Structure 1
């Protein structure tokens, strides 16, 4: 069986597909990832074949915020890249897994239709799937009115927002490929039974649409920590780790965070990430690092300060480390609230207060207890489901 795993996302969205690819290969199938070129080095390190599709994700994540017409142009470009790059890579495949940004998932599902192969859409957070138990997520230029609370009305708004955002550019490309127009973009992208690749403890499905919750797709990381990181960890008490991964960082955040971490009596490790976070001085109690094995690092720190993306939150929860979540958009507020509700950390309304909460002994105990409930078989579950499609 040959499976194409399509996404347009940063590291946190590509790594689960790498986990799925490796598990499929272990079960005798062939898996190819189609994703932005940013992830080429990591996938090559893992031995997972990559077909780069589209422009680098960092250009969109850290570029200037586009005006509404530019958002539509970017969406159209992402769809076009699927009809070009993905369609070529998927020739002869048996199934396509779609994920990532909505235009990419819509384009990938159209390619599957064109090639007459089954497709399944996967999300890493419940809020991206329709349910009467949570508010729909806004789309670019299409907010969800705060004064609306009725679930049926919210659902109708969500359907209309999907259509207003994407139906025209999607149907233009479908027509050029000889495919019929799509009337309901949301229903088309999600399909009859979408998957939720999230842990049931950290991100439970509240009910609503017919979905399959596989559990999170973990990629076991055996890379050793760099010697300078290991030496720093051994040189004193566990530090607090701060990074925003692929996300931008609030202005001046690293400076204020390091100051408050020091005031709390802790050392700091700062992950540069795409935001290029830096230290404030050359003092020995702060180390600035690049990309490392977070699975190993998180087990050796006092707390993790991060943006609240699905990947980082799941890794930190599995490591049993207290968290301070500083959310910005998309799924990040959801995971910030879940960390708070589980008692394994705090959402940072005020960073100093959130840090003090996270560093409390009872939060560490709770984080350790919750870590023991996190499943690690999600990629195996998903692989079996895919193999049964053939």
Structure 2
């Protein structure tokens, strides 16, 4: 069996797919991935062949977070149509060697292009979300599309989702149908329903991100998809960890921040104020050490599954994968959400009592010190250890079996 995985987004979209890829390969399936070229090294290091989709996304993400990217001449609808067409081309090329199923995640216009290829080939297609609020439900509101705010007088969740469906048809459906006409496919009436299907998958842990059932959507919650962990940590990092008590990890993964220097200063100062050492991850935020004191260490790539059980707390942006990995390790968290699903995970961390949700994307010494005070409280650590025992570790295996059964 040959499976094509499509993930257009940040590293948080790619990593879980590699967890699924590993389980599929163990079952004897051949796997290829379509993803942005930013992650070629990551995908190929996992032994998965990559067909890149379009241009790197790093600058696009940076512009969305910091507001520093130049305004493109085309609007959102035109950019979405280009993503749909580019993804269609990449997935078609990747499927040339054979394809029995397509699994897609990330931006909806890219997933729409992927489903069009699956439709053209006559093979099963699955859309996967990594957090519940990405899927329509009367139990939570949708996120407004850029430049398309919802009317302030509308507060009913179902009414907001209805508005969202109409907005997506205007912004994304028109471009999708124009492209489908060029490849001999009929028009789509409801863009969002076409992307999601009536039975999307939810790759989130039930204890961390539970799905509330309702008649409108048949969601299959598999549990979070983890890549196999246990890779050796860099020698310098091992030496730092061994040289003193557990440090506080601070990192934002493939998420830029508005002012890296201010964030680094606030983080280092707040951690030191708690009497802790600092482990700073550079990442796309480009965080750097603020001085040469030996209580701080800057790390590049490191296996979070191996690292997080050895730190006192994890300060991060609130990506689905980082949140789940820290929760699985039983390590308290401080979530400083920047965009997308991150406010959702910040709220869940606070609600579960396994850490603190920072108010807003720009920490100060005072605000981060207060959040760390909550996270480093012994009661928070005890609660984090309890919740860790509830986190499922077999989500990718469950999804692989479902896909094999489907095909």
Q: Which residue of 1 aligns with 2:66?
A: none
Matched residue, 2:364: none
Map of 2:317 onto structure 1: 307
1:55-110 Cα deviation digits (max 9, x unpaired):
11213112416469443333222111122111121132111001111111111111
Matched, 1:230 2:210: no
Show the counterpart of 1:29: 29
Residue 370 of structure 2: aligned partner: 353
Match of 1:197 in 2: 203
Matching residue of 2:13:
13
Provide the rounded CA distance (Å) in 2 between the counterparts of 1:301 and 1:65: 39
Structure 1 position 12, deviation (Å): 1.4
Per the TM alignment, residue 28 of structure 1 is displaced from its structure 2 partner at its CA by: 1.5
Find the partner of 2:249 among 241, 264, 274: 241
The alpha-carbon distance between structure 1 residues 68 and 102, as it changes in their structure 2 partners (threshold 3 A), is farther
SS in 2 for 1:299: helix
Residues 353, 380 of structure 2: 8 Å contact kept: yes
Confirm whether residue 107 of structure 1 aligns to residue 124 of structure 2: no
TM-score by length of 2: 0.93
Answer yes or no: is the 8 Å Cα contact 1:167–1:185 preserved in 2: yes
Q: Which residue of 2 aligns with 1:211?
A: 219
* Residue 52 (structure 2) aligns with: 52
Matched with 1:79 is 84
Q: Alignment partner of 2:315: what SS?
A: strand
Shift of 1:151: 3.0
Measure, in 2, the Cα distance between the counterparts of 1:68 and 1:240: 43
Give the number of equivalent residue pairs.
Answer: 390
> 1:265-304: CA deviations, max 9, x gaps?
1110110011111111111111111121111111111111
Structure 1 window deviating more from structure 2 (249-258 vs 167-176): it is: 249-258
Contact 2:62–2:257 (Cα < 8 Å) also in 1: no
Task: State the match for 1:221 in structure 2.
Answer: 229
Aligned pair partner of 2:166 in 157, 160, 163: 160
| 2:265 aligned residue (255, 258, 265) | 255
CA distance in 1, matches of 2:151, 2:56: 32
Aligned to 2:403: 386
The root-mean-square deviation of aligned C-alpha atoms, in Å, is 1.4
- Please, which runs of 5 or more residues in structure 1 have no aligned partner? none
Higher mean alpha-carbon deviation, 247-256 vs 126-135, is at: 247-256
Distance 2:20 2:271 in 1: 37
Query: Structure 2: which 5+ runs fail to align?
Result: 64-68, 360-366
Of 112, 123, 127, the match for 2:129: 123
Distance change (3 Å), C-alpha of 1:152 and 1:10:
closer
8 Å contact kept, 2:137–2:158: no
| Closer, same or farther: CA 363–351 of 1 in aligned 2, 3 Å | same
Segment of structure 1 superposing worse, 193-202 or 150-159: 150-159
Q: How far apart are 1:144 and its partner, in Å?
A: 3.0
Partner Cα distance (2:346, 2:224) in 1: 17
- Shift of residue 39, structure 1, vs aligned partner: 1.4
Deviations along 1:167-206, one digit per CA (max 9) or x if unpaired, are 1111111111111111211110000200000100000002
CA contact (8 A) 1:137 1:144 kept: no
- Give the 5 Å matches for 1:325-344: 325-344=335-354
In the alignment, the residues of structure 1 paired with residue 335 and residue 102 of structure 2 have an alpha-carbon distance, to the nearest angstrom, of 33
User: In the aligned structure 2, how far is the partner of 1:153 from the partner of 1:96?
Assistant: 31
Secondary structure of the structure 2 residue equivalent to 1:7: strand
Q: Deviation of residue 236 (structure 1)? A: 0.9
Instruction: Using the TM superposition, give the Cα deviation of residue 52 of structure 1 relative to its aligned residue in structure 2, in angstroms.
Output: 1.4
User: Residues 262 and 193 (structure 1 numbering): CA distance in 2 closer, same or farther, change over 3 Å?
Assistant: same
